Structure 1
C-alpha cells in the first residue's frame, strides 16, 4: 500500500481538469495512442460538446518515478466543476487522501475554486495547487500565485505551473503526487467498509458501483450489504478503471474500483453510502452520508399528449443512470398528463431535457422552475409545496417559509456596486460580509432566497460584471417570507401551468410582465381575449388580445352612418357570444414565457 496514491482533481468549471487527465493518460501510457482522443474521460456527447464534466470519472494509472525509479499506482478521480453537482465532488473528496487544485492562469481563483478548496481542507486532504494554461497570451501567473497564497496559505515555491493542453509540467504534477500525498491507511484484516462515491447503470449487468475500500477486502462471491437500506447482494465482479473497466481478483484496503453485485436500481446504491460484509458488518458507517435532495422543480409534459407513456419509460431509463433525478405523475388542465420533476439545479434540468431529446427522441415541454416551500396552515398542518398550482388558498395560510442559500460572488472591485445593487435591491439578498481574495479580487457573501437565483441571476451577474464575476452557493435552510401565488387567467379561465409564486413586493411587476408577454405570444382569435393575473383574491394586472375582425363595412359605399353603426353593433354582439363559448388555444411558447420574463432586462 506504500506505493498507492489516491487523488482527486478539483477546479472551477472550465479550468482544465479533464485535459490534465488526458495528458496523464498519455504520459503513463494508460491509453494507446491510436485510441486517444480529446476529453477522453467525458463519455457523454453532451459533456464533449459543452466541454463540461457532468459525472465523476475514476482512473488508475501506473507511473515510474524519475526520482527513485519505483512504480506507483495512482488512482485519480476527475470531478464535475459546476455548482449543481457539488455533492458528487464532496463524495469524491471523501474517497481520496489528496487533491490537485487546478486554477486557470488567465482567470485566477474563482468561486468554485474557493468552495472546493474549503471542502478539501474540511476533509483534511493534502492540497497540490497547480496553475494551468500558462501557455495562454493573457496568462497572469504572478497574480494567480498571490491569489492561491491568500486562499490556502501555500507559498509560491510549492505551486506547480503547467499547460495541460501542451503537456508542459505534467510530469512534475505526478512527482508531486508521489512526494506530497500520503499513502492510504487501513488494513485488509479489519471488517469491510467501502464508500460508494458514484454509480452508473448498465442494461446488461445492472448497477455498477464505484467504491473506495477503506478497510478489509472484497472479491466475487462475497455477500455484501448497503448500510443505509440493509439490502444484501452477492458480488459478481470486482475491478478497476485503466481507464476502461478491467476485472481483478479482489479490491483491498486503499483501492478505488468498481463492484457489480446484481443491484437492479441506481437509487438502491446511494452515493455516500457504506458497503460492508453482510455476515460481519461494521458497527458504524463511514461519516458524511446524506440523501441528495432536489433543489429545483419543474413540470415536464410530452410535446404530443399521446406520448405520455413513452416519456414515463424514458424518465425511468434516465433515472437508472441519474439517481438525483426525481419525478412523479402530474396533471395540468392546460398541458394534460405529465410529470413533476426534481433537479439539482438549472444545468441539471437542461442536461436531463437534452438527454431526453437526444437519447430517446422525446420532445418535452418544461414549465418554469420552482423551489420547494414550507407552508404552515391555520389548522397547524405543515405542507411542502413545489408546484405553484398546488399552493394553498391565501385564506388557509398561517405562514410561508422559503429556502435560502449562502451565495458567494468573487469579482474585481470595480463591479462591486452593480453586484451589490443586483443582489440586495433586485434579488432580496442580505449582505453578510466581504473579504479580500488576493490582488484585485473581492469575495461578497450574501444570504439570498433560492427562488431568486434559479431564474435569471447567473446571466444578470455576468452582464453586471462583464463576465468577470463567478458564483457559488449552498443551502442554509428555510426562512419565513411574504409570498403570494399569482394565477394567470386566459379568457377568465385559470391556467394552472402558468401559475407562479412571488414575493408580495414583486408580485405586481412580475404579473405585469407576464400578462404582457402572454398577450404577445397567444395568437389572435375571432374574439377578444383578456389575459389577467390574480393574486391575493383580486386582479392585479391585465392585458387584452384584440379580436381578429372582418371588415364588415367594406360593402358600404357611403349611405347613412346609422347603417354602419348597426353592422358594427351586430358584429360586436356576435364576438361577445363567441367569447363565452369559444376556447383559447395556447401555444407551447406561452408556457415558456415565465422563463423569458427577465430576458428583456438582460439584453
Structure 2
C-alpha cells in the first residue's frame, strides 16, 4: 500500500471490441509478477466462463499493480478494467471517471473503429490524459503508418506519443509502463477532507455480502467507520477495507487517490448503485461525485422454464443472478401457452444473451425467452402518458391517441466499398441519415437516426455480413418519436397463442406475420386434421399458412364399382375430420417457439 499519493497512477484501458484489452491487462499482471506463471491463465480479469469463451468483458474488474520504475521509484498502478460493448456504456463511463488517464488501444490491423471514437470522447469528457497504444504489432498485416495517420487525422491525438506494442508477445510493454508513469498525472484530492468515494462497481460474495468497488477522491475510509450512500441515504458500518490484488487484499484503510473495496454487511446488491457517492455519516462531504444516474433497461423479454415444475428454481436463479447484476430488473409474468415466468428488462441484446447463457449454465435450467421488445410510450384519449413493453398488455387501439417508440443515434464506420449496401440496409430499417464524414480516401463515417426496435434482431449480423466484418457500429439512445404501432397476434387453429404476440410497426406487420407463420408451419407436426396458422392485427388476417392433414386412404377397399360408393366414404371421412377439428387441440412444440424467436427474418 503506497502512502505517497504522488506515486499512485489510476488508469483504464479503453478500446473497440476485440482490440486486445484483456490480453494487455494479462501482460501487465505477468510483467509485474502480481500473478505467478503457475497460476496464470488467459483473460485473468475475466472471471466468468462466458467472458472467456466469447472473448468479451462483461463485468469491469480492478487490480492494483506494483511497478518498479527505471527512475528507482516504486509506483502503485491501479488498473480499472472496462467492458467494451455498447450495452454497458454506463459502466464504462463510471470506470473512466475513477481514473486520471486512459490507454486508448487500437488494433494495428483494423485501425480506428466506431467504439474507439465514442470511448475516446467519453474519456475526453472526464478530462483524462489519453495515451494512444497500437496493439497487435506482431501480426504480418499490422500497418503502423496507416494507424498513426488515423490517430492524427481521426482522433486528433499526437501519433508521436503512440506506443507500438504486442499484448500477446509482450513487445513494448516495459516502455508502455514507463510512459504510463510519466504521462498520467498523480491523483488529486485532500486526505484531510471528509471522505468522498465513487462506487464504480460491486459484486456479491455469498459469505460476506456485497463487495463495493470504490475510488477515493478525498479523505480516508477505514474499518469501523460509519458511512452513508448519498443517493438513498442508506447507512452502514465498514467491516473490511482493502485493495484488489487478483483477490481482495485487506489493508485496513484506503485514502484519497486509492482504488479499493470495502464490505459493510450489505445483503442486497440493489441497494448499491454504480455512480453513487459514499461519505461519512458524521462528517459528510458537501456534494456528491457528478454523473450519477439510474440505469434504465431498454430491451424487455419474458423468461419461462421449459418444464413448468422448474418455476421455483428459475425464481431462485434470477434472484441469485440479480445479486451479481444490479442492472437486471424483473417481475412475475404468466402466459396461457407457457405458464408462469418472469418479465425481465435488459440493457441491450448482448445483456439478454449473457443472462440467458448464465441461467442455462450456472443454474442448469432449460428456458425459453419470448420475442424481445422495446418500451413504447403511449398517450390515451384522456391525454395520459404511460409506458408499455409487454404485448399482452396492449390496450384497445381505439383508446390510444398516439404511440411513440424509442430512437437511437447510430454511428457506423465502414470502408467506402460497402457504403451503398449499408445505406440500403439502414433505409430498410427505417433509418434517416443525419450526416456523413469521409475520414480518409478509404473510410467513411455515417450517422443515422433509427428505431431501436429495428436494430434489436438481426441488424448487427447483417451489417457484419454485407461489410465482410469491416464495418463497426455504435449507438446511443436518442428520445422518442411518433410511430404507427400494431399488435400482431398469432392464431393456431383459431386460438390466439399469447406468447407469440408482438408489437410491430404497422407497415412491417404483413412481412413479420408471413415470416412467423412460415416458421411455425415447418415446426408443428401434422395432425389428423387441417391446421390453419394465421397472423392477425385485430380482426384482420394479414398472413396465413395451412398445415395439411394426415390422410388415410379410405377408398382403398373400393376397387372398381360405382363412384358414389367412394364419394360416400370420402364424405364420411370429411365429417369425422370436422368433428376431430372441433375437439382436437394443437400442441405447440418447444422448437416452434425457439424457431420464431431465434431471428426476425432469414
Per the TM superposition, whether the score is higher than 0.5 is: yes
- Given that 1:405 and 1:477 are in contact with CA atoms closer than 8 Å, whether structure 2 keeps it comes out as yes
Separation in 2 of the partners of 1:325 and 1:206? 18
**1:289 corresponds to 2:320:** no
Separation in 2 of the partners of 1:363 and 1:226? 39
User: Offset of 1:536 from its aligned partner?
Assistant: 4.4
Residue 4 (structure 1) aligned to one of 4, 8, 23: 8
1:9 is paired with a residue whose SS is strand
Query: What is the aligned partner in structure 2 of residue 543 from structure 1?
Result: 545
**1:22 corresponds to 2:26:** yes
Query: What is the aligned partner in structure 1 of residue 472 from structure 2?
Result: 470
Residue 156 (structure 2) aligned to one of 146, 153, 156: 153
Query: What is the aligned partner in structure 1 of residue 335 from structure 2?
Result: 332
Q: Deviations over 1:211-238 (max 9, x none)?
A: 0010111001001111111110000000
- Given that 1:7 and 1:98 are in contact with CA atoms closer than 8 Å, whether structure 2 keeps it comes out as yes
**CA root-mean-square deviation:** 1.1
**1:207 corresponds to 2:210:** yes
Q: Deviations over 1:460-504 (max 9, x none)?
A: 101111111010111111111111111111111111111111112
Please give the TM-score of this superposition, normalised by the length of structure 2: 0.98
Separation in 1 of the partners of 2:88 and 2:441? 29
Separation in 1 of the partners of 2:576 and 2:382? 49
**1:273 corresponds to 2:259:** no
Map 1:432-443 → 2, pairs under 5 A: 432-438=434-440, 440-443=442-445
Aligned residues: 598
Residue 564 (structure 1) aligned to one of 563, 566, 574: 566
Separation in 2 of the partners of 1:444 and 1:236? 51
Residue 125 (structure 2) aligned to one of 114, 122, 126: 122
Separation in 1 of the partners of 2:380 and 2:297? 24
Residue 518 (structure 1) aligned to one of 503, 517, 520: 520
Map 1:31-430 → 2, pairs under 5 A: 31-66=35-70, 68-424=71-427, 426-430=428-432
- Given that 2:117 and 2:155 are in contact with CA atoms closer than 8 Å, whether structure 1 keeps it comes out as no
2:185 is paired with a residue whose SS is coil
Q: Deviations over 1:383-418 (max 9, x none)?
A: 211111211121111100100011011100111110
Separation in 2 of the partners of 1:172 and 1:439? 33
Query: What is the aligned partner in structure 1 of residue 458 from structure 2?
Result: 456
- Given that 2:515 and 2:601 are in contact with CA atoms closer than 8 Å, whether structure 1 keeps it comes out as no
1:592 is paired with a residue whose SS is helix
User: Offset of 1:438 from its aligned partner?
Assistant: 4.0
Query: What is the aligned partner in structure 1 of residue 497 from structure 2?
Result: 495
2:374 is paired with a residue whose SS is coil
Please give the TM-score of this superposition, normalised by the length of structure 1: 0.98
Separation in 1 of the partners of 2:439 and 2:79? 29
- Given that 1:513 and 1:597 are in contact with CA atoms closer than 8 Å, whether structure 2 keeps it comes out as no
2:38 is paired with a residue whose SS is helix
User: Offset of 1:558 from its aligned partner?
Assistant: 2.0
Q: Deviations over 1:3-46 (max 9, x none)?
A: 11000000011111111111111111111221112111111111
